[in-house]
Amino acid sequence: MAEENSTTRVKHFVFVSFTNKPVLKITLFFVFLISYIATLVGNIGMIALIRASPQLHTPMYFFLSNLSFIDSLFSSVVACKSLANLLEDKKSISFTGCAVQMYLVIGLASAECFLLAAMAYDRYVAICKPLLYLVLMSPRFCILLMAGSYLLGFLHSLLHTIFTFRLPFCQSEINQVYCDVTALLSLSCSDTHLNELLIFYVAGPVEATTILSVFLSYMYILANIVRISSVSGRVKAFSTCTSHLTAVTIFHGAILILHFRPKSSNGSPIQDVSDKILAIFYTMMIPLLNPLIYSLRNKEVKDALVVIQRNIWNKIIKQ
């Protein structure tokens, strides 16, 4: 009966603020706002560039456009509420709103894990089996890989969301910038052992499997590159992979540090702040970095951008 009463008391959650200083709040608001706008411009711009450039209508850029789509949504789910909270005195979110936010955050992050693994397989086929590339990476197969990434990601998220929000909550203050599963479990007044097992035996294998897929793909790629006789050929082959490998390292590194590193039972103020900074980097900064990584380190993207700019300039001159 006590658990039922505690459950009905928590109708909304409250985010613990970074700071109570108005000047710092306004500063953080504009920093987050500029980062969020840059994220949307970069990712939506990448999608538009790929759609407008026939030379980018390949499996690699099909996956990249979907990565930009996921990153746009992923950043929006956290940034919009975080920006509003910086301007509000009461930084609350409804019980249902928190469940939806957590479902979307885990679902999109999991889908990105599977998508990055699919992109690694695409690079493996392109470099190790170039003559079969168009056969193995057919449009139908690419769509199936993409759909599978979304399906597995959101099924994984649904499992954690259901088992988290069936718990009774005795506290309502979330010491994080979004509705994070581990932060919510610490607010429950019941046994969370089953939820912790789900994180270990479900989320853990999802992370391990996708990292292993990327690792194996690049082991085969590296072995194949070493056998290329010309230096220019080796450089060209590896340069097509560096952008993806950089994005994978940053994304999975942030997940491992944020969710799988050992934490003390009594969170110190320094640890709480560091967790929030990591969460901001994971949900807001990585989606901003991805389009920069793929545009600055990718000759095909830069060439396509030059062509688009030239075509726009020619149209302006003709008018």
Angle at 125 between CA 119 and CA 131, to 5 degrees: 145
Q: Judging by beta carbons within 10 Å of its beta carbon (0-12, 13-18, 19+), is residue 277 exposed, middle or buried? A: middle
- The per-residue pLDDT for 112 is 96
Question: Torsion angle of alpha carbons 63, 67, 72, 77, nearest 10°?
Answer: 130
- Per-domain residue ranges for the chain? 2-312
pTM: 0.90
- The per-residue pLDDT for 7 is 44
What is the CATH code for 2-312? 1.20.1070.10
- The per-residue pLDDT for 5 is 43
What is the residue whose two structure tokens read 């613990």? 16
- The per-residue pLDDT for 270 is 57
Bridging pattern class, strands 12-15 and 92-94: antiparallel
Q: How far lies 283's CA from each of 40, 146, 254, 270, in Å?
A: 13, 21, 10, 20
- Strands of the sheet containing 173-174, edge to edge, are 92-94, 12-15, 173-174
Residue type, 149: S
Across-strand partners of 188?
169
The Cα 208–Cα 313 span in angstroms is 48
What string of pLDDT tens digits covers the 319 residues of the chain? 444 444 446 788 999 877 778 888 889 899 999 999 999 999 999 999 999 999 899 999 999 999 999 999 999 999 999 898 888 877 889 999 999 999 999 999 999 999 999 999 999 999 889 899 999 999 999 999 999 999 999 999 999 999 999 999 988 899 888 999 988 998 998 889 999 899 889 999 999 999 999 999 999 988 888 887 777 767 766 777 888 888 899 999 888 888 777 665 555 555 667 788 888 888 889 999 998 888 876 778 888 888 888 887 877 787 6
